[in-house]
A and B are shown apart, each in its own frame.
Chain A
Amino acid sequence: AQSVTQPDIHITVSEGASLELRCNYSYGATPYLFWYVQSPGQGLQLLLKYFSGDTLVQGIKGFEAEFKRSQSSFNLRKPSVPWSEAAEYFCAVCFMEYGNKLVFGAGTILRVKS
């Protein structure tokens, strides 16, 4: 079955440090891939997406993600994280043959130490 795994439930980084959030999926073909961020009490904001082409994609707020087909991964990165970006980050995958719905990972809660 199609699935999305975010292996890290919580990550804590120091303000200004770099960040990498992991995402793996299980699927036979290449799906569409997304990262969303959810601040407390807020909705889901799209950070970036991958459909095809260049496997390194740039998003808003200085985020980037790299699709690695061999590892079925789509990890989110940022070189320097401000305190304000403490939030929950969700990887989501659209399996096109299954109605275009999004399947979400469990989320990673990012804490930023000042």
Chain B
Amino acid sequence: EPEVTQTPSHQVTQMGQEVILRCVPISNHLYFYWYRQILGQKVEFLVSFYNNEISEKSEIFDDQFSVERPDGSNFTLKIRSTKLEDSAMYFCASRQDLDTQYFGPGTRLTVL
């Protein structure tokens, strides 16, 4: 069964450094999402992406964040200058048309 994959599974970085989290959505899906889950808290929406542009973003998704679909298969989330409070599990999800969002296994980001 096709699945969403994410790399790396764990990323450790120093505060102020840039990180890129990578996702490979399910191949025939059209809509892509990033969510995050700070330890012990609920899963929160960050951004949705369709037709090569952002369709919606939350207030969390400020100028430090960006998303890109560089090559038709990868979907990336970049954090330009990480802060301690960016430490979280980041989930990528994708969906086809009016259907279910399927989630990847997540990338645990630790900012020191």
Residues of chain A whose beta carbon lies under 8 Å from any beta carbon of chain B: 34, 36, 42-46, 49, 51, 90, 92, 94, 98-107
Contact = CB atoms under 8 A, between A and B. Distances in A.
Interface of B: 31, 33, 35, 41-45, 48, 55-56, 58, 91, 93, 95, 98, 100-106
B103 A36 contact: yes
Given A43-B105, A44-B103, A49-B100, A101 B45 contact: yes
A106 B48 contact: no
Nearest to A105: B42
B42 A101 contact: no
A101 B56 contact: yes
B42 A44 contact: no
Given A34-B100, A43-B105, A44-B103, A101 B91 contact: no
A104 B56 contact: no
Nearest to B108: A41
Nearest to A94: B101
Contacts of B100: 34, 46, 49
